[in-house]
């Protein structure tokens, strides 16, 4: 029952863990484990990057991934191994030697996080096939300008690793778990880790007020920034049925707790546009923890994933002890902060239909920074074009309303119209009429409207085979 995991090669068993205790606070409170730093406490700077290894059922290896320890809760480590900069062994390994000698550190405070991101890549962790710049996009450095860090990554490509010793230590440490602790104000906080979906449904029926936590990339901030003391938490990140990825002919089915990093390949096969969106959704550490289901269930008005999924025609399946129900994704978002989920329901799966050969798909995310930013505008289009005529149109936007929402007027204008520049001009204006966005730190209402309409033109030019993203432009 106790929480058990391996920390830098040492088996740890803990009682009295509260659901909101963070991995970072645990580490920094242990002698010799202060190498992992806190830079922001919200998963945006990567200074606290550690690697978490999860035993892969039926294989003799661990699934390693880099995560932000500041917004990972300690119970989420149950049955896993965590590797920190302090556990890399005596002396410096080859990666560390490169970084020590090539100017990869100046003030040194972000350095352990960069070491662990690049160590993960060198160990073949999730995302190791990405370009080094994408592996590091969730690590901020304010001193170096990143050159030596990128260089160090290039010099240490992914390689294998023997996980057998850790697997042996973890044997018997996995399985369901629960725990409780007394909060400072005297309340009792409880957490549960069910090991199957039925158990999860039963727990939710028993504790309808429980907070469901998958990757904690959102709820983590409630704890570190809003200073909420979580009371009852059910961790669903390792429920096997919620981890399925079915890449079928009709489309992709994702379990509710599939992490974005794991969904990335299947979604990119579905649509390269969707793959590009996922590449820019958080840093790798965030995609390694954050789930597609969580991104939907938290009901963000921006929610970078949902607008694209809505445009592609995704459906959502909720489950409880009472049974299942499936709905078009857009119907889940009722109003700001309000979703169509009963207290005892959880997101079981999302199905994303595969676009056909006649579908023109375009997805654009506009933000102040390309990587690890939240959209000012996220626009997603699926136009079905048959013999020069648009026979169906699905358009959804994030950042333009209180919820991710479809552009009804633009869809109406496009449906049945010829796929021409003239039609695009009309559609751009229709999109501007569809929404009345707010002004906030990410952009003004005027910018949002102007740019949202212009995305139709981007779609058009892309359909003509032109480059439409500045990333596609070379110097010289």
Partner 1 sequence: MADTLTQTPGPLVGAGYRHDSAHLHVAGKASYIDDEPEAPGLLHLAFGVSSEARARIVDMDLSAVRAAPGVVAVYTAADIPHANDVSPVAGDDRLLADGEVVWLGQPVFLVAATSRRAARQAARLGKIAYQRQDPILTVAQARAEQSLIEPTQRMARGDANAALAAAPYRLAGHLAMGGQDHFYLEGQIALARPLEDGQVHVLSSTQHPSEVQHLVAHMLGLSSADVTVEVRRMGGAFGGKESQAALYAAAAALVVYHTDRPAKFRADRDDDMVQTGKRHDFLVDYDVGFDADGRIEGLRLGLASRCGATVDLSPAINDRAMFHADNAYFLPAVEIVSERLKTNMVSATAFRGFGGPQGMLAIERVMDAIAGHLGLDPLAVRVANLYGPGRDVTPYGMTVADNIAPELIARLREDGDYEARQAAVARFNAENAIFKKGLALTPVKFGISFTTTHLNQAGALLHVYADGSIQINHGGTEMGQGLYTKVAQVVAQAFGVGLEQVRITATRTDKVPNTSATAASSGADLNGMAALNAAQTIRARLAEFCARTFGGAAEDVVFAGGQVRAGGEAMPWPVLCRRAHMARISLSSTGYYATPDLHYDRDAHQGQPFYYFAYGAALAEVVIDTLTGEHRVLAADILHDCGQSLNPAIDKGQIEGGFIQGQGWLTSEELVWDDAGKLLTHAPSTYKIPTANDRPDRLTVTLWNGTNHRPTIHRSKAVGEPPFMLANAVFSALGAAVMACNPAAGWPTLDAPATPERLLAAVARQRGGVS
Give the footprint of partner 1 on residues 219-248 (CB under 8 A): 225, 227
Residue 304 binds partner 1, judged by CB under 8 A: no
Closest CA to 315 of 285, 289, 349: 349
Q: Strand 10-14 and strand 3-7: pairing? A: antiparallel
Nearest approach in angstroms of CB 106 to partner 1 is 4
Give the span between the Cα atoms of 232 and 213, in whole angstroms. 10
Alpha helices in 282-348 (DSSP H): 284-289, 292-297, 305-311, 329-332
Nearest approach in angstroms of CB 125 to partner 1 is 17
Give the span between the Cα atoms of 77 and 2, in whole angstroms. 12
Which residue of 110, 128, 189, 390 would you call a contact of partner 1, by CB under 8 A?
Answer: 110
Binding to partner 1 by CB under 8 A, coded x per residue (else -) over 314-333, reads --------------------
Q: Which stretch binds partner 1 (CB under 8 A): 92-100, 194-202, 309-317, 334-342?
A: 92-100
Q: Which stretch binds partner 1 (CB under 8 A): 111-119, 268-276, 317-325, 400-408?
A: 111-119
Q: Which stretch binds partner 1 (CB under 8 A): 162-170, 265-273, 329-337, 437-445?
A: 437-445
Scan residues 244-303 and list those touching partner 1 (CB under 8 A): none
Alpha helices in 225-259 (DSSP H): none
Q: Which stretch binds partner 1 (CB under 8 A): 71-79, 91-99, 314-322, 330-338?
A: 91-99
Closest CA to 264 of 228, 233, 235, 292: 292
Give the span between the Cα atoms of 374 and 286, in whole angstroms. 12
Scan residues 336-365 and list those touching partner 1 (CB under 8 A): 364
Q: Which stretch binds partner 1 (CB under 8 A): 135-143, 250-258, 322-330, 340-348?
A: 135-143
Q: Strand 3-7 and strand 81-83: pairing? A: parallel
Closest CA to 237 of 223, 216, 252: 216
Of 199 and 451, CB closest to partner 1: 451
Nearest approach in angstroms of CB 55 to partner 1 is 26
Give the span between the Cα atoms of 87 and 69, in whole angstroms. 15
Q: How many residues bind partner 1 (CB under 8 A)?
A: 90
Nearest approach in angstroms of CB 231 to partner 1 is 15
The one-character DSSP state at 358 is T
Give the span between the Cα atoms of 208 and 204, in whole angstroms. 5
The one-character DSSP state at 418 is B
Give the span between the Cα atoms of 370 and 368, in whole angstroms. 7
Residues forming beta bridges with residue 351, ordered by sequence position:
253, 315
Residues forming beta bridges with residue 397, ordered by sequence position:
379, 405
Give the span between the Cα atoms of 441 and 85, in whole angstroms. 35
Count how many Cα atoms sit within 13 Å of the Cα of residue 54 in the half-sphere of its side chain. Answer: 18
Residue 422 binds partner 1, judged by CB under 8 A: no
Q: Which stretch binds partner 1 (CB under 8 A): 249-257, 260-268, 327-335, 452-460?
A: 452-460
Of 158 and 176, CB closest to partner 1: 158
Binding to partner 1 by CB under 8 A, coded x per residue (else -) over 36-55, reads xxxxxxx-xx-x--------
Residues forming beta bridges with residue 50, ordered by sequence position:
67
Residue 444 binds partner 1, judged by CB under 8 A: yes
Which residue of 373, 400, 424, 434 would you call a contact of partner 1, by CB under 8 A?
Answer: 373
Nearest approach in angstroms of CB 32 to partner 1 is 10
Of 195 and 429, CB closest to partner 1: 429
Numbers of helices and strands, H then E, in the chain: 17, 20
Which residue of 172, 184, 388, 465 would you call a contact of partner 1, by CB under 8 A?
Answer: 184
Count how many Cα atoms sit within 13 Å of the Cα of residue 70 in the half-sphere of its side chain. Answer: 22
Residues forming beta bridges with residue 347, ordered by sequence position:
318
Residue 188 binds partner 1, judged by CB under 8 A: no
Of 16 and 147, CB closest to partner 1: 147
Which residue of 84, 288, 291, 295 would you call a contact of partner 1, by CB under 8 A?
Answer: 84
Which residue of 2, 14, 28, 340 would you call a contact of partner 1, by CB under 8 A?
Answer: 28
3-state secondary structure of 394: strand
Asked if 319 and 241 count as a contact pair (C-beta separation under 8 A), the reply is no
Residue 105 binds partner 1, judged by CB under 8 A: yes
Residue 215 binds partner 1, judged by CB under 8 A: no
Q: Which stretch binds partner 1 (CB under 8 A): 61-69, 140-148, 167-175, 255-263?
A: 140-148
Burial (CB < 10 A; 0-12, 13-18, 19+), residue 323, is exposed
Q: Which stretch binds partner 1 (CB under 8 A): 234-242, 260-268, 391-399, 443-451?
A: 443-451
Residue 168 binds partner 1, judged by CB under 8 A: no
């Amino acid at each position: 029952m106790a929480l058990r995991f391996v920390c830098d090669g040492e088996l740890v068993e803990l009682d009295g863990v509260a659901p909101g205790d963070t991995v970072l606070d645990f580490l920094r409170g242990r002698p010799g484990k202060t190498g992992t730093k806190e830079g922001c406490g919200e998963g945006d700077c990567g200074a606290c990057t550690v690697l978490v290894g999860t035993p892969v059922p039926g294989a003799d290896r661990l699934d390693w991934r880099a995560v932000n320890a500041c917004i990972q809760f300690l119970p989420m480590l149950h049955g896993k191994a965590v590797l920190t900069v302090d556990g890399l062994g005596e002396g410096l390994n080859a990666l560390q030697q490169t970084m020590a000698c090539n100017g990869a550190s100046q003030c040194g405070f972000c350095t352990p996080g960069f070491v662990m991101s690049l160590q993960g890549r060198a160990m073949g962790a999730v995302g190791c096939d990405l370009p080094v710049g994408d592996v590091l996009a969730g690590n901020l450095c304010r001193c170096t300008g990143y050159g030596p860090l990128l260089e160090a990554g290039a010099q240490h490509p992914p390689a294998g690793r023997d996980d057998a010793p850790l697997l042996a230590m973890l044997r018997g440490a996995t399985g369901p778990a629960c725990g409780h602790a007394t909060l400072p104000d005297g309340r009792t906080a409880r957490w549960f880790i069910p090991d199957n979906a039925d158990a999860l449904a039963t727990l939710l029926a028993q504790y309808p007020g429980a907070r469901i936590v998958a990757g904690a990339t959102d709820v983590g901030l409630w704890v570190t920034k809003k200073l909420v003391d979580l009371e009852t938490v059910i961790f669903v990140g390792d429920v096997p049925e919620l981890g399925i990825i079915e890449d079928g002919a009709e489309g992709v089915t994702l379990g509710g707790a599939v992490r974005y990093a794991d969904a990335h390949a299947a979604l990119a096969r579905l649509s390269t546009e969707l793959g590009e969106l996922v590449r820019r959704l958080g840093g790798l550490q965030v995609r390694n923890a954050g789930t597609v289901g969580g991104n939907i269930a938290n009901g963000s008005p921006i929610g970078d994933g949902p607008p694209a999924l809505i445009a592609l025609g995704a459906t959502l399946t909720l489950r409880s002890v009472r049974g299942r129900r499936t709905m078009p994704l857009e119907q889940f978002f009722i109003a700001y902060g309000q979703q169509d989920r009963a207290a005892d329901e959880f997101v079981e799966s999302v199905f994303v239909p595969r676009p056909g050969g006649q579908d023109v798909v375009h997805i654009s995310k506009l933000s102040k920074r390309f990587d690890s930013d939240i959209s000012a505008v996220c626009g997603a289009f699926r136009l079905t074009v048959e013999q020069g005529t648009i026979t169906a149109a699905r358009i959804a936007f994030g950042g333009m309303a209180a919820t991710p929402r479809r552009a009804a007027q633009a869809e109406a204008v496009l449906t049945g119209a010829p796929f021409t520049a003239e039609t695009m001009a009309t559609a751009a204006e229709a999109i501007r009429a569809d929404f009345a966005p707010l002004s906030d730190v990410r952009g003004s209402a005027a910018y949002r409207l102007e740019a949202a309409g212009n995305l139709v033109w981007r779609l058009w030019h892309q359909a003509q085979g032109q480059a439409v993203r500045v990333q596609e432009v070379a110097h010289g």
